[in-house]
Structure 1
Amino acid sequence: MTREREPSSRDKVLQAAMAMFGEDLGARLSVRAVAARAGVSTGSLRYHFPTQRALQDAVLAGIYDVVAPDDRIHDRSAPARDRLIDCLRQVLALAGAGAQARAGWSEIFKTYIEPEPTDESRAAYLAIEREAQRRVEYWLTVLRDEGALADGDNGRRARFLVTVLNGLSIARALPSEESLLATETETLHAAVDHVLNSRF
């Protein structure tokens, strides 16, 4: 009979913080609250995550790794353009469409737009943006390293693509007379072509 390995204190902290974030997008991942939920000391939490930002970034990276793995970007049997579009579609899939997209954007509005911003809500939203930026920038770096993308500022390119993704995810929540898939595909192709063919 084999015994299951007890999760490390770092794993416990991440699991607790992810659960808290999943329950409330605007949750303030305070050291005391997360440590209490994880059943670890605040000192143990601080050992693994010295700052609140480090904790937030690790939580969001973990969520993205689970719901949007990036294996497709490494599949050199497909053209770079197709791989990047597929990766961007993974991010859009997280937003859902129709009622799911409306519910998601409604929650974002109630959490980050409608109330006066606090330091905590600003930090939580910026952590989400940083992780989206980091993920897209990583994909661009893979393509640059294999020679499919010219040297340039991948940070600026990633910001551009994240802005396009934000707009497309909002469009998924709004009524449309045109085929959502067709307009989304056209927009993604135009954005990716711009990035692959420019030196910005």
Structure 2
Amino acid sequence: MHTRERILRAAAEMIAEDATTTLSVRAVAVRAGVSTGSLRFHFPTQRALQDEVLTRIYRHFIPDEPIHDSSRPARERLVDCLRQVLAAAGVGDEARKAWGAAYEHFIAPEPSEKVRKAYLAQERVSAGRVEYWLGVLADEGALPRDDFPRKVRFLLTVLNGLSIQRALPSGESVLQAETETLYLAVDAVLGTGTS
């Protein structure tokens, strides 16, 4: 196995063992059995390493992203991408367990530097994924490239709210309310309105 692949495999294993882990250059190099200089040759920054590992993880779990199906309208593709994120959050008991784990890892403990870094790393991954989708649509001319950070934050806030809603007991159809909310959010981001 080539050095680059050993590094990526070691980093992915570390994330699989503990999602809150910080991929430090030294720890990943030790795990991969390479020098820190070798790791830096392939990944000059910690961010570059994290981004490549997470890109590979996403490609493995979601190989056919709907954002690339240009035969469908941008609005539909973006809603489908957001639905994939929500699907991973589960519904009912599964959603409650996911939010319970988030509480245990990020809310209940004192906000130490390690907790903060772990949360920010996960947040950066989520933001990067949404920004990637918006970038694909911008490249196609479906929306302007301006103000991506604000649009990303808005969509992530909507996703967080909907995933909490999935965990709470509800008297109405979660799917219907979720679908309406996703379309409203996507229309706001794309600058399209419903007629």
**Normalised TM-score (structure 2):** 0.86
Unaligned runs of 5+ in 1: 1-5
Query: Which position in structure 2 is the counterpart of 1:137?
Result: 131
Post-superposition Cα deviations, 1:9-41, rounded to whole Å, max 9, x if no partner, equal: 222222222222122122232333322322222
Distance 1:46 1:71, change over 3 A: same
Q: Does 1:18 align with 2:12?
A: yes
Mapped to 2, the partners of 1:48 and 1:125 lie a distance apart of 25
From 165, 168, 173, give the equivalent of 2:167.
173
Contact 1:26–1:112 at 8 Å: present in 2 too?
Answer: no
Q: Does 1:87 align with 2:81?
A: yes
Contact 1:57–1:127 at 8 Å: present in 2 too?
Answer: no
Mapped to 2, the partners of 1:75 and 1:16 lie a distance apart of 33
Deviation at 1:192, TM superposition (A): 0.8
From 38, 50, 57, give the equivalent of 2:32.
38
Deviation at 1:143, TM superposition (A): 1.8
Contact 2:127–2:153 at 8 Å: present in 1 too?
Answer: yes
Distance 1:54 1:77, change over 3 A: closer
Contact 2:131–2:152 at 8 Å: present in 1 too?
Answer: yes
Query: Which position in structure 2 is the counterpart of 1:182?
Result: 176
What residue identity is the alignment partner of 2:124?
A: R
Deviation at 1:43, TM superposition (A): 2.6
Mapped to 1, the partners of 2:36 and 2:151 lie a distance apart of 39
Deviation at 1:75, TM superposition (A): 1.7
Query: Which position in structure 1 is the counterpart of 2:106?
Result: 112
What residue identity is the alignment partner of 2:171?
A: E
Mapped to 2, the partners of 1:96 and 1:31 lie a distance apart of 33
Deviation at 1:73, TM superposition (A): 1.4
Deviation at 1:61, TM superposition (A): 2.8
Distance 1:113 1:56, change over 3 A: farther
Mapped to 2, the partners of 1:151 and 1:25 lie a distance apart of 31
Post-superposition Cα deviations, 1:80-125, rounded to whole Å, max 9, x if no partner, equal: 1101101111111221222222222222211111111222222222
Query: Which position in structure 1 is the counterpart of 2:148?
Result: 154
Distance 1:125 1:27, change over 3 A: same
Q: How much is the aligned-residue C-alpha RMSD, in angstroms?
A: 2.1
Moved more, 45-54 or 156-165: 45-54
**Normalised TM-score (structure 1):** 0.84
